Structure 1
Amino acid sequence: MAVVDPYKSGKLKNNPYAKKSDVGGSLVVVLDGQMDDRGLSLIAPISRCIKKDEVHELILTDEMGARPGVTVNSIAYLGFFAAEQSGVLVEGDEVTVNGKKIGKIAGFDETHMPNHLNIVIKAEKRQTGLELDLNPGDKVVFHLVRG
């Protein structure tokens, strides 16, 4: 029997995540770089599980059409964060750093797996971690937003 991905096959029409714990961590690296032709392939699934102490990359895009299953080119590198607990990240989760809203998760790119996951965040303005004056130790939180 063939394995069917419910996201690719269109079986899941709506986001099934009704409630979940916030996922947080601390920045361990601040990045300063932008690209207009990155070619990130966002995977079809709208969620990814991460484990406590894993390190993952945060990438910002101002492409308003960024969502699971599309390619994202215009990006700015924010940094890497270390997860302080295991949890689930979902497209549309609001991302804050030290309580300041950065944007919402657009999707995930697995180019560098199993080393790290690229978490792509959609924002109105594309800025690097350095331009946002981020620092190692800053607190990153992913919070479910319904609606």
Structure 2
Amino acid sequence: MTAVRAAPGSGALREDGPKRTVSGPLVKVLIHRREDRGMSLEPFASRCVRAGEVHELVTTDHTDTRAGARIDRVGFLGFLEVARAGVIDRGDTVRIGDRLVGTVLGFDGCHFPNHYNILIRVPEPVTGADLELLPEQTVSFEQLG
């Protein structure tokens, strides 16, 4: 793999090239929140997802991306079904329909291999009810610039 320098003189390496948007429909809306959830951030900055997989969408105001960081304040949005295989990366923009929801903070694997909890960074945790979500709305994970 060839690494590309991010900015002249910065010394930083950039490894990511362009990717497809991962998307799929909501299959279930969730309406609860927790202040003591105790999720643990996986050490991975990205996860490959397959067509047909179902994963949970969870909002949080936590910002720590260190492996094992504890995630307590959460709002549950629901579950999506992945339409086409792809890669979801930390920092991807998350949209539901035309609404910007937040950015991917990381992943919690407490239910894996059944599903991942995809943690979405937001200013304040929100639920599917707060956003008036409905089944079949399209969720998308888009690469930033």
In the superposition, the TM-score normalised over structure 1's length comes to 0.86
SS at match of 2:17: coil
Question: In 2, are the aligned partners of 1:66 and 1:122 still within 8 Å (CA)?
Answer: no
SS at match of 1:108: strand
Structure-2 separation of matches of 1:122 and 1:40? 14
Deviation at 1:18, TM superposition (A): 2.4
> 100-109 vs 124-133, which deviates more?
124-133
Aligned length in residues: 133
In the superposition, the TM-score normalised over structure 2's length comes to 0.87
- Which residue does the alignment assign to 2:64? 66
- Which residue does the alignment assign to 2:4? none
**RMSD between superposed Cα atoms in Å:** 1.3
The 1:83–1:37 alpha-carbon spacing in structure 2 relative to 1, beyond 3 Å, is same
Structure 2 portions without partners, runs of 5+? 1-11
- What one-letter code is carried by the residue in structure 2 that aligns with 1:97? I
- Which residue does the alignment assign to 2:27? 28
Structure-2 separation of matches of 1:16 and 1:89? 15
- Which residue does the alignment assign to 1:145? 144
Structure 1 portions without partners, runs of 5+? 1-12
- Which residue does the alignment assign to 2:41? 42
- Which residue does the alignment assign to 2:16? 17
- What one-letter code is carried by the residue in structure 2 that aligns with 1:66? D
- What one-letter code is carried by the residue in structure 1 that aligns with 2:124? K
Does residue 1:89 correspond to 2:88, yes or no? yes
Deviation at 1:86, TM superposition (A): 0.3
- What one-letter code is carried by the residue in structure 2 that aligns with 1:29? K
Deviation at 1:37, TM superposition (A): 1.0
Larger radius of gyration: 2
Structure-2 separation of matches of 1:17 and 1:71? 27
Percent of aligned positions that are identical: 36
